[in-house]
Homo-oligomer: A and B are copies of this chain.
Amino acid sequence: MTKLKLGMVGGGQGAFIGGVHRIAARIDGQWELVAGALSSNPERAKASGAELGLDPARCYGSFEEMAQAEAARADGIDAVAIVTPNHMHAAPAIAFLNAGINVICDKPLAATLEDAEAIASAAQASGARFFLTHNYTGYPLMRQAREMIAQGALGDIRVVQVEYAQDWLAEETHNKQADWRTDPSKSGAGGCVGDIGTHAFNLASFVTGLEVDKLAADLDAFVPGRKVDDNVHVMLRYKGGAKGMLWTSQVAVGNENALRLRIYGTKGGIDWAQENPNVMTFTRFGEPKQILTRGGAGSTPAGQAGLRVPPGHPEGYLEGFATIYAEAAEVIRTGQGGDILPGVADGVAGMRFIKACIESSRADGVWTAL
């Protein structure tokens, strides 16, 4: 199986989400990054491309140029990842869709509803596909929750409680990530509500299959001088009669990235929190609460699909492993360092441990030197 070829718009030096997209694209070995318009600043675009090992010929100065050139190449990209601030989603998305190139775009879709609808039209007209990285829908237990609800495990949904709280903007803050998110010309009119509120909104719909009919909202900008909301209270009425509450905040001190979803129906309820994503509780009315784990006992086909590691090996296990590999690479490249890495002495120590355990146990537990 050959890898698909990926391009990227945005994600140059100093970016956050671009790096996340690149790692995500590498994990399963299905994508290869080959082209980019990594920055609107041409010098930074070149430098960023060099760092990533891109062919300089495929480090473009603009997304327009990139869309044209890649569409014209026989070995052109299979998809482009758009990882720019919100106000810079629509133009490249439309350009690549028009060029017949698949798009993977970060959320929210755009800075304005008008831009969003323009993208939707372009997607409609294009033969290419459009994917929005509402990444929380990729957690196995969220897939499982959706499947359980679709199969009636909760009965008719009555109440949805969803919240997404952070605290990193609790005070006036200036850095690349904060600046565009609190500038309505870049983020759109919504601040917190767009940046993370849309994740909460999307996840609740994804899992329940319900569509919001109406909402009543109360938005605040608590930090003096802030031009966009940083705390959002919403009451929701879903079509069909379910009710919901949505809270999202970037000033809730003590919350790092606290996305939590609770759903209650006539027959059951579930509770899941992103910060410990390998666990979800599920209660059938009148029975003990169950702790469902990713891929563990009681998991459904949707919850088991695409697992990379077994239950109990939390998602993240792979990253601890990857750190060993990354550091080994560094040692091999440089011939230096690596003191923190386990090596042959640790291995021998482990063998002495096994041997001593067995000997001690055979000798009725006598204290045994290693």
Contacts and interface: CB of A to CB of B under 8 A. Distances in A.
Interface string A213-236: 111111110100000010111110
A134 to B, nearest CB: 4
A338 B293 contact: no
A214 B368 contact: yes
A78 to B, nearest CB: 5
Mostly, the A contact residues are mixed
A265 B167 CA distance: 11
Question: Copy number of this protein in the oligomer?
Answer: 4
Interface string A253-266: 11111100010111
Interface stretch (A7-15, A35-43, A267-275): A267-275
Contacts of A29: 22-23, 26
B264 A243 contact: no
B368 A216 contact: yes
B109 A256 contact: no
- In this complex, the interface size class of chain A, counting residues with CB under 8 Å from chain B, is 35 or more
A57 interface: no
A119 B349 CA distance: 13
Interface stretch (A59-67, A68-76, A191-199): A191-199
B193 A354 contact: yes
Scoring A277, A323, A332, A353 by chain B CB atoms within 10 A of each residue's CB, the highest score goes to A353
3 closest A-B pairs by beta carbon, nearest first, are A315-B316, A256-B312, A109-B347
20 contacts: A22-B29, A27-B27, A115-B351, A116-B350, A123-B344, A131-B338, A158-B231, A158-B251, A159-B222, A194-B354, A198-B354, A202-B350, A216-B365, A235-B365, A288-B293, A290-B291, A314-B315, A314-B316, A316-B316, A364-B367
